[in-house]
């Protein structure tokens, strides 16, 4: 997702509809947060996506589900304070426990 947004920002592709969809889709699912390589541009774009969706800046009610294998301490060290504070302050945190089904198959 972040690479697509960066490509859009640098006009490497004509993905304005993708960026609009990321901001405006009713439900956005960000899977495996924390596995991506981050740089300052990606931090900025991740913040923009999360903040726009949380603040309803698009005048459209949006929901976002974020899955990660990182614990809160790992999230705090990987992401800056602005992003981390939105994770803990604006999202319901659900912890799932149990065996990894990929190991049990």
CA distance 70 to 49: 20
Residue 31's nearest CA partner among 4, 6, 65, 74 is 65
| Alpha carbon distance 19, 105 (integer Å) | 37
**Would you write out the chain's pLDDT as a tens digit for each of its 105 residues?**
888 888 887 877 666 678 888 988 999 999 999 998 889 999 999 999 999 999 876 677 889 999 999 999 999 999 989 999 999 999 999 998 888 788 877
Say whether pTM exceeds 0.85: no
Phi, psi of 74 (to 5 degrees): -65, -40
Quick one: pLDDT at residue 79?
Answer: 92
Give pLDDT, residue 14: 67
């Amino acid at each position: 997702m972040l690479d697509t947004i960066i490509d859009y920002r640098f006009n490497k592709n004509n993905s304005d509809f993708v960026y609009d969809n990321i901001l405006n889709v009713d439900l956005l699912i960000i899977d495996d947060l924390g596995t991506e390589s981050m740089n300052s541009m990606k931090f900025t774009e991740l913040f923009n996506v999360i903040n726009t969706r949380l603040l309803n800046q698009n005048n459209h009610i949006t929901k976002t589900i974020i899955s990660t294998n990182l614990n809160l301490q790992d999230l705090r060290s990987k992401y800056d304070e602005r992003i981390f504070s939105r994770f803990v302050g604006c999202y319901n945190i659900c912890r799932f426990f149990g065996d990894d089904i990929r190991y049990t198959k």
